[in-house]
Amino acid sequence: MHTTSKTNRWDKARALLAGGLVLGVGAAATLAAWTDNEWVFGGSGNGDGTEPNTPGTGIYRMQQNTWAGTAGAANWTDEPDANGGALTYTIAPELMVPGKTVYSPMQLRAVAGSEALDVSLAQGIQSQLNRGPDNSTDLYDALTYGVYRGVDKATCEAGTVAGAAVVVPEESALTAGSSTTFPLSAGDDANTAGAPVNLCFALTLPSGASATLQGLNTVPVWRFTSSVGQ
């Protein structure tokens, strides 16, 4: 009987020990560890995004001035969609004859607060509007053009563009773009735009143009572009 009693007590002790081990594991899992955390944010100041040293994006945008008539004031607008702003020619372009060139001044600049930009004339297209005699494809295909940089409004005319920086060579098809880039200086601050760059378009009806082009009009459209990033 004594042996049996010792055996029973040992069995109970082992059972309690086993239970204690299980309880011990469970208790260890629920104990709170001592922790210490350190947080940082990418910038300076109070972390509300208003400090200049926090990550953010700049402004990269230009705008155009096609003048309100050749004698008018500057009219700066943002024209991201075709047809865009309307060029104003120094003589009536609807009276062109073979061998005649008409000229039109315009300007580009970086908007207030914008970073500096590199710009190119990316492409020319015929407007999708009013196809027919008022927007003749035959006349569009016959005309040629060129673009000069550094020619102001007063001198954007015959005889004064010689020696200016060429953006698009004269006698180019109206569809021609250019790989030539030119800079637009950054705006000084959020209220001051960058210095304008003068451009001069020269549109020519070649001397060999067909008489079948008489009485027609067309609507050429050009796109300037600048880009940053990938």
- 32 occurs within a structural domain: no
Give this prediction's pTM. 0.79
Whether residue 197 contacts residue 109, with contact meaning beta carbons closer than 8 Å, is answered with yes
Q: Which residue has the tokens 């600049």?
A: 109
Sorted by sequence, the CB contacts under 8 Å of residue 124 that are 6+ apart come out as 145, 173, 174, 175, 176, 177, 220, 221, 222, 223
Domain that holds residue 85: 62-225
Structure tokens at 221: 């459209």
Residue 84, φ and ψ in degrees, nearest 5 = 85, -160
- 30 occurs within a structural domain: no
When divided into structural domains, the chain yields a total of: 1
- 37 occurs within a structural domain: no
- 110 occurs within a structural domain: yes
Q: Model confidence over 170-226: pLDDT tens digits?
A: 999 999 999 999 999 998 888 999 999 999 999 999 999 999 999 999 999 999 999
The beta-strand segments (E) located in 137-218 are 144-149, 165-173, 181-184, 197-205
